[in-house]
Amino acid sequence: MQNTNKNLQIALLMVATLGIMSGITIVSSLPLISHTFSDIPNIEFLSKLMLTIPSIIIALFSPIAGYIIDKWGRLKPLYVGIALFIVGGSSGFYLHDFYVILVGRAVLGFGVALIMTSSTALIGDYFSEEVRHTFMSKQGMTTALGGIVFISTGGLLAQIHWSYPFAIYLIPILFVPFLLKSLYEPEKHKHVEDLEVEPKLLPVYFTAFFVMVLFYMLPTQFPYLIVNTLGGKAQTVGFVIATAMTFNALTSMQYAKIKGRFSYIQIYAATFTLFALGLFIISQATSIAGLFFATAPIGMGFGLLFVNTNAWFLSRVPAHKRGRASGVLTSSFFLGQFASPILFEPIVSAYGIQILFFLVSMVAMGIAVVLFVKSRL
């Protein structure tokens, strides 16, 4: 059943904002958390687990979440995920035991796994491929704008008290009545018990992993480049990333028109070219002002990369395996997020951050050339 009414799309866009909310909302609180719990041994390392614990839980649990969604339907797991998201995410607002908050972050991870897997499957169930491209343009724009709002709001609240950004995780309570009214359970497809991964989806999963490894260079490497290398202030980090995400939103909004003219491979070739250009500019920057020249190609590239990957995935997955396949896709994204700083740390330690950006820009350009040749053949 196709249902493209406005309320249905708004409901799915609300759900889409939760994925970006889960990671970046409390970034500004991490130094303050380290200071508040300074009596705990190794607190600087432990405070970083506030970000990494949800990621690894999402990566590990998402394939199981996909199996649950295919067997029991889309909406019940979605609402359970939202409940876990609210309870686990907001734990730091009203609980002031550091280790209990860490448990809350793990609960948040289980919630996000259910939410993202359910919502991806619902998009595939609700929309035809043509309508899906139009919707995913809106989804990419909404996610980028949500990132700007949440990282900015979290930073402002952290200046008042370290625990206040955790209150942002209570916002989905306001979404639930509208979701209950607007979403419906799609027609149930025949459940298949096997957990075999579709071979034709393996390139999509690898691409999702690789895209997130590249994307997470910004939040994990950028702060050190700006503050330690270029002598900028901490608040400059959020401003530069927010500028890039503005271009992300503007480009995502145009995805349906772009997809109407180009293939998935051609779009990837263009996005890796943009990404390579942005990284090269960063590698050569000698001032904060120089970084802003990179925000346009970086933002435009990522604005298309994520939307194109999701659209490519949904065009290839069988309907009856959409839940499990969506779970593996979510896992691929978050494994890339978790692996990014680990994979790049040896290069940073040996050669510095700007050499890292230069080397990755060369790799990205090489990929763009290969994809361009393949698209022509």
Q: What angle do CA 258, 216, 323 make, to 5 degrees?
A: 65
Q: CA-based Rg of the chain, rounded to a whole angstrom?
A: 20
> Does residue 173 sit within a domain?
yes
User: Does 195 map to a domain?
Assistant: no
Whether residue 189 lies inside any domain: the answer is no
Q: Are 112 and 61 in contact (CB under 8 A)?
A: no
Domain for residue 89, yes or no? yes
Residue 190 lies in a domain: no
pLDDT at residue number 114: 94
- Which residues, 6+ apart, have CB-to-CB distance to 282 below 8 Å? 225, 291, 294, 298, 354, 357
Alpha-carbon distance 101 to 159, whole Å? 20
Q: How far apart are CA 83 and CA 88, in angstroms?
A: 8
Which three-class secondary structure string do you get for 333-374? Answer: HHHHHHHHHHHHHHHHHHHCHHHHHHHHHHHHHHHHHHHHHH
Helical (H) or strand (E) element with 268: helix 264-284
Model confidence pLDDT, tens digit, residues 309-349: 988 888 888 777 778 888 888 889 888 888 888 888 889 88
Read off the pLDDT of residues 249-297 as tens digits, 9 standing for 90 and up.
Answer: 888 888 888 988 999 999 999 999 999 999 999 999 888 888 889 888 9
Q: Are 21 and 165 in contact (CB under 8 A)?
A: no
Domain annotation covers residue 192:
no
Q: Is residue 194 part of a domain?
A: no
- Torsion from C-alpha of 26, 31, 34, 38, nearest 10 degrees: -150
How many independent structural domains does the chain possess? 1
What CATH number is associated with residue 137? 1.20.1250.20
Which residues form the domain of 257? Answer: 6-181+200-376
193 within domain boundaries: no
221-259 per-position pLDDT tens digit: 777 787 778 877 756 776 787 788 888 888 888 888 898
pTM for the structure as a whole: 0.79
